[in-house]
Structure 1
Amino acid sequence: MKNAFLHGNLDDEVYMDIPPGYTRLTKTKIVCKLERALYGLKQSPQAWFGQFSSVMRKYGYCQSNSDHTLFLKHRQSKVTALIVYVDDMIITGDDAEEISRLQEQLSIKFEMKNLGGLKYFLGIEVARSKKGIFISQRKYVLNLLMKVGLLKCKPVDMPIVQNHRLGEYSNQVSADKVRYQRLVGKLIYLSHTRPDIAYVVSVVS
């Protein structure tokens, strides 16, 4: 989706300073009242998603209760699914006719770019073969290891013993809380394709 946030309609009254280069005709303070959302405005993501959800419902799609970014349509025992993350989306399902129609409808309503078959999305690599679909986060892991300086670390079969309890030591150097939380968040996301680390991630989180 191109210029996604510019499609949102604002429900609240929002004002901004006049743009640079605009000449005031009077000495009074002049501001602009926004009719549409702009990039950088805190209301923009919500305004855009509200607009997009409304369009998807108009096309006969139902919003999932478990994940509000997922839209589903059932037709003649076939299903089409669309999942959106800000301005990136995946359209999939077993109804080729409906997928083609949805792509056409969305490209009329919004400025879109079709990137073809799914290869990479939000840090997840997708590969297809005759045996099925394989997903991995290899590049994501390598970037993560590089950021924390552990590129030369060796893998282990069991990252942690069961029922291990984390403790605090008197001579312990306190960790950077923000950095730690950020790292744990990245590990939680990694456990989607690596269920083998789910237990240790739950302990450190």
Structure 2
Amino acid sequence: MNTVKVLLSLAINLDWTLRQFDVKNAFLHGELEEEVYMSLPPGYRVTGETGNVCKLKKALYGLKQSPRAWFGRFTTAMKKFGYRHANTDHTLFIKHRAGKVTLLSVYVDDMIVTGDDTVEIEELQKRLASEFEKKDLGSLKYFLGVEVTRSKHGLFLSQKKYVMDLLADTGMLDCKPADTPIVENHKLGVYVD
């Protein structure tokens, strides 16, 4: 989250655009480096036969190796596009070109792209689309549970939607708000027996 805060700060202070991309079925793009076998899915069993398994060629959701396989494939693609890892955060990719910079931060399958090289940002979008099935979500609006609204005064960050979804999931949308969740004027202290 610190990297995201720094990217947002750079973008607002240097008046850079903030774009968001999303890779569809990201884990299915991962290439497995080791042999992985799984039980046959229900309905694929041959009557009377037991012990049959499938050898996986690609990563699947739920497989422990999937996140690593996907990120490895993504990193390879980004290096092919001329990007390098930041020294401080391996999920931040940087490209310097003609005195300009482009930054991409990835969290699983969600990406924030910013920088002062608008031509490179458009090229990056095309290259990513040729490599992965992805969606261009346009200007950054929602990332990791944080709503982002840009105005002439800066960025406004809010987690209202996240909190409302959390309250809905826990069945607490109709609860009455309380100013403090503890008894008023309660004295906290260390008690020794």
TM-score (norm 2): 0.72
C-alpha separation in 2, matches of 1:107 and 1:94: 21
C-alpha separation in 2, matches of 1:143 and 1:30: 43
Structure 2 stretches lacking a partner, 5+ long: 1-22, 181-187
Match of 2:129 in 1: 107
**2:69 matched to 1:77?**
no
C-alpha distance 79-152 of structure 1, shift in aligned 2 (>3 A): same
C-alpha distance 24-92 of structure 1, shift in aligned 2 (>3 A): same
Higher strand proportion: 2
Identity of aligned residues (%): 58
Could you report, residue by residue, the CA deviation over 1:160-193 in whole angstroms, capped at 9, with x for unpaired residues? xxxxx974777xxxxxxxxxxxxxxxxxxxxxxx
Match of 1:153 in 2: 178
Paired residue type of 1:74 = H
Task: State the number of aligned residues.
Answer: 161
Paired residue type of 2:118 = A
Measured after TM superposition, the shift of residue 61 of structure 1 is 0.6
C-alpha separation in 1, matches of 2:157 and 2:135: 23
C-alpha distance 125-167 of structure 1, shift in aligned 2 (>3 A): farther
Paired residue type of 1:93 = G
Structure 1 residues 19-98: aligned runs within 5 Å: 19-24=41-46, 27=49, 29-98=51-120
Paired residue type of 2:43 = G
Could you report, residue by residue, the CA deviation over 1:20-51 in whole angstroms, capped at 9, with x for unpaired residues? 22253884622111111011111101100110
TM-score (norm 1): 0.68
Match of 1:129 in 2: 151
C-alpha distance 108-23 of structure 1, shift in aligned 2 (>3 A): same
- Across the aligned residues of Structure 1 and Structure 2, the Cα RMSD in angstroms comes to 2.9
- Which of 15, 21, 30 in structure 1 is aligned with 2:37? 15
C-alpha separation in 2, matches of 1:28 and 1:143: 45
- Is the 8 Å Cα contact of residues 145 and 151 (structure 1) preserved in structure 2? no
C-alpha distance 21-127 of structure 1, shift in aligned 2 (>3 A): same
Measured after TM superposition, the shift of residue 124 of structure 1 is 1.3
- Is the 8 Å Cα contact of residues 2 and 113 (structure 1) preserved in structure 2? yes
> Which structure has the higher relative contact order (CA within 8 Å, separation 6+)?
2
